[in-house]
């Protein structure tokens, strides 16, 4: 949700910032802008509504001066529509200070009223502009940008990453953050700031995450971090584990195409090195999540949003079965308002690809404040959620750039399975032989997934192109197939803008079956008959029920499932696998279908309308 990049150093910052914005565009793409302190010491800005291409075009028409200090922003609108005027940066009245912002300043209305009463004329409808005016006024008092930040951040409520440059301080960018991400990139004679490391990873892999309520001042040869009161902070430097190439399209038509193809590796990398003698061992979860503590946990709550919440729903079945502990899944944004019962014997596990989703972060903070133990399942090194949790299990999916989550989803399920197996072992709920068999099944899943992706793609592409005019698609599943149905529907909504609903197949007869009419397309995720004949039989009955009402059934079923073949208008076969790895294989065809339907409709697969990759507002 809004991408931020800043640079100080000897290079031409405009090109460098535009390249950084290109890498961050997935965070928001309704408008973009840059501010440069040029070599003559003037502050200049360019900004445009629309995707980054519009700003690039503007820079061709009206080039901006060269200079070694600059910042850039790609926006996902909250306050004020996506117009040129509302695009960031926002300037102070005298035009000497430029600000970019990610987040929401919740008390902006009262701050704006105060400024208006004082004669300030606002030029945009954004909450951000109040920060520009407040910083300019504070700067006039102290003559120091960092000091001005200290003054102003104390007055802001809400979530913000705020960056500014001032014409009178060339070679300086100051940033502050609360509940919104900011990472420093450490270079040689140059330094960077970014919403995430993608902003600068092609220039340096040395990074420091700016902590909660901290201010950072970067110059070409120095980086200084302080808390909001001015106290010195030692940042923890880490090395970015992936290189710039991992976040490039590399010849694929879309990032999403690439990322679906990367799923087998994402899955394998998440499992890599986490077993000993065939058993899962998570040895570095920290003191608050020691084996002794986890053995005494009485309840687990999984908190997440969107796709990550469906990964949680899949894992709920497994963790409860293996660790014999009650598991609930809560949408992160509902969690705190429900005033959940929490204590130190409750383990709250958050699941987040970005590690910055504000709803999930707030849920984690709420859990901690009420004494619960917190574990993060996250794909982003150094992100806020793992840093604010007692422990972390990283998914090693590599950077996910397409807005629609794909490889992160399968690796989240895998990481949660690891947690479930770990808990099953230390709680004595799972015997070693069963544990080893489950691990074997998991380790075999990446190659089976590779085969599903390779074998089914062309067929699904044809299907999707036939269905380019479809207005409604339903998805059904039971047990771990149910969240897969939900995920299939979400993918279709977000990418192809088609009405899509996922249902537990058993729920259909309680109302939703009224939606089924002649020609209604229904995807059905069918469990293997080898694992539970009863479950399988129920799903086959559900298929009969919808076919009797005219549905067109697309079944995702185990190869050779004779009970389904006669009733499926289309069959997407899956290789034989265990019951817990079925969802990992079944989701890929649904992801491919959504991608190809969006393609067939000529839509932007990687950047669907109204969305952003990392949702850092509540
Ligand atoms: O970064 P997170 O995993 O916390 O993101 C959570 C959701 O916003 C995300 O999964 C979203 O639902 C995806 N766009 C779905 O494809």
Do 263 and 243 share a domain, yes or no? no
pLDDT of residue 11: 94
Which alpha helices (H) appear in 507-602, and where do they start and end? 533-548, 582-600
Do 285 and 201 share a domain, yes or no? no
Q: Are strands 3-8 and 31-37 parallel, antiparallel or unpaired?
A: unpaired
Kindly state whether residue 60 falls inside one of the protein's structural domains.
yes
- The answer for residues whose C-beta is within 8 angstroms of residue 378's C-beta and 6 or more apart is 350, 351, 352, 353, 354, 355, 385, 386, 392, 393, 394, 395
Closest ligand 1 atom number to CA of residue 353: 3
DSSP 3-state of 596: helix
Phi then psi for residue 295, to 5 deg, are -65, -25
Tell me how far the alpha carbon of residue 567 lies from the centroid of ligand 1, in angstroms.
34
pLDDT of residue 338: 86
Q: Where are the beta strands (DSSP E) in 398-466?
A: none
Q: What is the pLDDT of residues 399-436, one digit of tens each?
A: 999 999 999 999 999 999 999 999 999 999 999 999 99
pLDDT of residue 250: 83
Domain boundary, last residue among 231, 247, 263 = 247
Q: CB of 193 within 8 A of CB of 173?
A: yes
Residue 401 CB–ligand 1 contact under 6 Å: no
pLDDT of residue 80: 84
Kindly state whether residue 58 falls inside one of the protein's structural domains.
yes
Structure confidence at residue 245 as a pLDDT band (50, 70, 90): confident
Ligand 1 atom 8, closest CA? 306
Q: Is the confidence at residue 1, as pLDDT, over 80?
A: no
Please give the Cα distance from 439 to 418 (Å, whole number).
9
Q: CB of 566 within 8 A of CB of 574?
A: no
Do 174 and 272 share a domain, yes or no? no
Kindly state whether residue 591 falls inside one of the protein's structural domains.
yes
Do 76 and 138 share a domain, yes or no? yes
pLDDT of residue 27: 84
% helix / strand / coil in the chain, to the nearest 5? Answer: 40, 25, 35
Pick from 56, 89, 57: nearest CA to 72: 89
Structure confidence at residue 29 as a pLDDT band (50, 70, 90): confident
Closest ligand 1 atom number to CA of residue 403: 14
User: CA dihedral defined by 263, 269, 271, 272, rounded to 10 degrees?
Assistant: 160
Tell me how far the alpha carbon of residue 96 lies from the centroid of ligand 1, in angstroms.
38
Tell me the mean pLDDT in the region 517-523: 95
Q: CB of 404 within 8 A of CB of 376?
A: no
- The three-state (H, E, C) secondary structure of 89-104, written as one string: CEECCCCCEEEEEEEE
Alpha-carbon distances of 584 from 70, 258, 317, 588, 590, rounded to whole Å: 44, 17, 14, 7, 11
Distance of CA 27 to the CA centre of its chain: 9
Residue 418 CB–ligand 1 contact under 6 Å: no
**Number of folded domains that form the chain:** 2
Ligand 1 pocket test, candidate residues 307, 332, 618, most atoms within 8 A of CB: 307
Q: DSSP per residue over 494-526, as a string?
A: HHH--EEEEEEGGGGGGTGGGG--TT-EEEEEP
pLDDT of residue 241: 84
Q: What is the DSSP letter of 361?
A: H
Do 322 and 239 share a domain, yes or no? no
Closest ligand 1 atom number to CA of residue 306: 12
DSSP 3-state of 166: strand
Residue 352 CB–ligand 1 contact under 6 Å: yes
Domain boundary, last residue among 247, 272, 288 = 247
Tell me how far the alpha carbon of residue 303 lies from the centroid of ligand 1, in angstroms.
12
Q: Is the confidence at residue 536, as pLDDT, over 90?
A: yes
Q: Are strands 570-574 and 552-558 parallel, antiparallel or unpaired?
A: parallel
Residue 354 CB–ligand 1 contact under 6 Å: yes
Closest ligand 1 atom number to CA of residue 385: 4
Tell me how far the alpha carbon of residue 526 lies from the centroid of ligand 1, in angstroms.
25
Do 198 and 271 share a domain, yes or no? no
Ligand 1 pocket test, candidate residues 28, 195, 308, most atoms within 8 A of CB: 308
Tell me how far the alpha carbon of residue 268 lies from the centroid of ligand 1, in angstroms.
21
Ligand 1 pocket test, candidate residues 181, 305, 383, most atoms within 8 A of CB: 305
pLDDT of residue 612: 82
Kindly state whether residue 549 falls inside one of the protein's structural domains.
yes
Do 288 and 231 share a domain, yes or no? no
Residue 405 CB–ligand 1 contact under 6 Å: yes
Closest ligand 1 atom number to CA of residue 404: 16
Tell me how far the alpha carbon of residue 349 lies from the centroid of ligand 1, in angstroms.
16
Closest ligand 1 atom number to CA of residue 491: 16
Kindly state whether residue 300 falls inside one of the protein's structural domains.
yes
Residue 360 CB–ligand 1 contact under 6 Å: yes
Tell me how far the alpha carbon of residue 379 lies from the centroid of ligand 1, in angstroms.
12
DSSP H or E segment with residue 175:
strand 173-178
Instruction: Output Rg (C-alpha) for the chain, integer angstroms.
Output: 25
Kindly state whether residue 610 falls inside one of the protein's structural domains.
no
Ligand 1 atom 10, closest CA? 307
Residue 616 CB–ligand 1 contact under 6 Å: no
Closest ligand 1 atom number to CA of residue 614: 1
CATH of the domain at 565: 3.40.50.10490
Closest ligand 1 atom number to CA of residue 307: 10
Q: DSSP per residue over 295-342, as a string?
A: HT--EEEEEE-THHHHHHHHHHHHHHHHH-S-EEEEEHHHHGGG----
Residue 615 CB–ligand 1 contact under 6 Å: yes
Q: Which of 233-242, 255-264, 425-434, 491-500 has the lowest mean pLDDT?
A: 233-242
Kindly state whether residue 611 falls inside one of the protein's structural domains.
no
Tell me the mean pLDDT in the region 494-516: 94
Alpha-carbon distances of 344 from 165, 294, 296, 339, rounded to whole Å: 45, 10, 10, 16
Ligand 1 atom 11, closest CA? 306
Half-sphere exposure of 259 (CA within 13 A, CB side): 25
CATH of the domain at 93: 3.60.20.10
pLDDT of residue 365: 96
Residue 146 CB–ligand 1 contact under 6 Å: no
Q: CB of 591 within 8 A of CB of 155?
A: no
Residue 275 CB–ligand 1 contact under 6 Å: no
Do 281 and 243 share a domain, yes or no? no
Q: Which residues pair with 393 in a beta bridge?
A: 377
Q: Are strands 3-8 and 69-75 parallel, antiparallel or unpaired?
A: antiparallel
Do 224 and 262 share a domain, yes or no? no
Q: What is the pLDDT of residues 147-173, one digit of tens each?
A: 999 999 999 998 899 999 999 999 999
Do 122 and 160 share a domain, yes or no? yes
DSSP 3-state of 480: coil
Half-sphere exposure of 390 (CA within 13 A, CB side): 21
Q: CB of 5 within 8 A of CB of 187?
A: no
Do 295 and 271 share a domain, yes or no? yes
Say what percent of the chain tops pLDDT 70: 100
Closest ligand 1 atom number to CA of residue 611: 14
Q: Is the confidence at residue 442, as pLDDT, over 80?
A: yes
Q: Is the confidence at residue 463, as pLDDT, over 90?
A: yes
Residue 350 CB–ligand 1 contact under 6 Å: no
Tell me how far the alpha carbon of residue 483 lies from the centroid of ligand 1, in angstroms.
15
Residue 445 CB–ligand 1 contact under 6 Å: no
pLDDT of residue 26: 82
Tell me the mean pLDDT in the region 573-595: 98
If one compares 255 and 338, the residue with the highest pLDDT of the two is 255
Pick from 192, 161, 204: nearest CA to 75: 161
Bond preceding residue 198 cis, omega within 30 of 0:
no
Ligand 1 pocket test, candidate residues 333, 353, 385, most atoms within 8 A of CB: 353
Ligand 1 atom 4, closest CA? 352
Kindly state whether residue 609 falls inside one of the protein's structural domains.
no
Q: Is the confidence at residue 616, as pLDDT, over 80?
A: no
How many Cβ atoms from other residues are within 10 Å of residue 107's Cβ? Answer: 13
Tell me the mean pLDDT in the region 77-106: 92
Q: CB of 97 within 8 A of CB of 152?
A: no
Tell me how far the alpha carbon of residue 157 lies from the centroid of ligand 1, in angstroms.
25
Q: Is the confidence at residue 244, as pLDDT, over 90?
A: no
Task: Enter the pTM of the model.
Answer: 0.87
Domain boundary, last residue among 226, 247, 268 = 247
Ligand 1 atom 16, closest CA? 404
Do 263 and 180 share a domain, yes or no? no
Residue 305 CB–ligand 1 contact under 6 Å: yes
Residue span of the structural domain in which 303 resides: 255-600
Please give the Cα distance from 450 to 266 (Å, whole number).
11
Catalytic residue positions?
Answer: 2, 613
């Amino acid at each position: 949700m809004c991408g931020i990049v800043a640079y100080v150093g000897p290079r031409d910052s405009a090109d460098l910032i535009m390249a950084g914005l290109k890498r961050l565009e997935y965070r928001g793409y309704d408008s973009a802008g840059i501010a440069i302190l040029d070599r003559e010491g003037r502050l200049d800005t360019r900004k445009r509504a629309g995707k980054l291409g519009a700003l690039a075009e503007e820079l061709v028409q009206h080039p901006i001066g060269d200079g070694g200090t600059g910042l850039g922003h790609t926006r996902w609108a909250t306050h004020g529509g996506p117009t040129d005027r509302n695009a960031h940066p926002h300037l102070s009245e005298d035009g000497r200070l430029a600000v970019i912002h990610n987040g929401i300043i919740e008390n902006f209305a009262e701050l704006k009223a105060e400024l208006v009463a004082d004669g300030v004329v606002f030029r945009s409808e954004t909450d951000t502009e109040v920060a520009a005016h407040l910083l300019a006024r504070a700067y006039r008092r102290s003559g120091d940008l960092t000091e001005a930040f200290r003054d102003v951040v104390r007055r802001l409520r809400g979530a913000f990453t705020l960056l500014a440059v001032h014409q009178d301080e060339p070679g300086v960018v100051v940033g502050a953050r609360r509940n919104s991400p900011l990472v420093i990139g450490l270079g040689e004679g140059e330094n960077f700031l970014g919403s995430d490391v993608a902003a600068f990873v092609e220039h340096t892999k040395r990074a420091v995450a700016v902590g909660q309520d901290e201010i950072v001042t970067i110059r070409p040869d120095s980086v200084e971090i302080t808390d909001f009161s001015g106290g010195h902070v030692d940042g923890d430097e880490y090395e970015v584990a992936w290189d710039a190439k991992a976040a490039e399209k590399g010849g694929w038509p879309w990032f999403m195409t690439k990322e679906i193809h990367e799923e087998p590796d994402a899955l394998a990398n998440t499992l890599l090195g986490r077993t000993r003698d065939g058993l899962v061992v998570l040895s570095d979860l920290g003191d608050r999540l020691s084996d002794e503590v986890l053995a005494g946990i009485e309840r687990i709550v999984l908190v997440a949003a969107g796709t990550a919440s469906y990964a949680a729903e899949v894992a709920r079945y497994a963790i409860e079965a293996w660790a014999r502990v009650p598991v609930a899944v809560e949408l992160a944004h509902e969690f705190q308002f429900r005033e959940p019962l929490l204590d130190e014997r409750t383990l709250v596990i958050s699941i987040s690809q970005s590690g910055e989703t504000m709803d999930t972060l707030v849920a984690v903070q709420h859990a901690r404040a009420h004494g619960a133990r917190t574990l993060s399942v996250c794909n982003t090194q150094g992100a806020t959620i793992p840093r604010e949790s007692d422990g972390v299990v990283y998914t090693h999916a590599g950077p996910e750039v397409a807005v629609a989550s794909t490889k992160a989803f399968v690796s989240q399920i895998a990481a949660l399975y690891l947690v479930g197996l770990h808990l099953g072992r230390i709680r004595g709920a799972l015997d070693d032989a069963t544990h080893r068999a489950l691990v074997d099944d998991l380790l075999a899943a990446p190659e089976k997934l590779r085969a599903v992706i390779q074998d089914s793609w062309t067929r699904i592409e044809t299907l999707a192109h036939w269905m380019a005019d479809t207005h409604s698609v339903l998805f059904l599943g039971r047990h771990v197939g149910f969240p897969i149905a939900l995920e299939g529907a979400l993918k279709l909504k977000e990418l192809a803008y088609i009405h899509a609903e996922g249902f537990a197949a058993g729920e259909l007869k309680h109302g939703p079956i009224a939606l089924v009419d002649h020609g209604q397309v229904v995807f059905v995720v069918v469990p293997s008959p080898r694992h539970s004949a009863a479950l399988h039989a129920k799903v086959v009955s559900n298929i009969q029920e919808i076919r009797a009402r005219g549905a067109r059934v697309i079944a995702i079923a185990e190869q050779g499932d004779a009970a389904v073949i006669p009733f499926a208008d289309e069959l997407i076969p899956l290789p034989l696998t265990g019951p817990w790895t079925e969802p990992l294989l079944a989701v890929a065809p649904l992801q491919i279908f959504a991608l190809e339907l969006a393609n067939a409709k000529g839509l932007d697969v990687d950047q669907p309308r109204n969305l952003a990759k990392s949702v850092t507002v509540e």
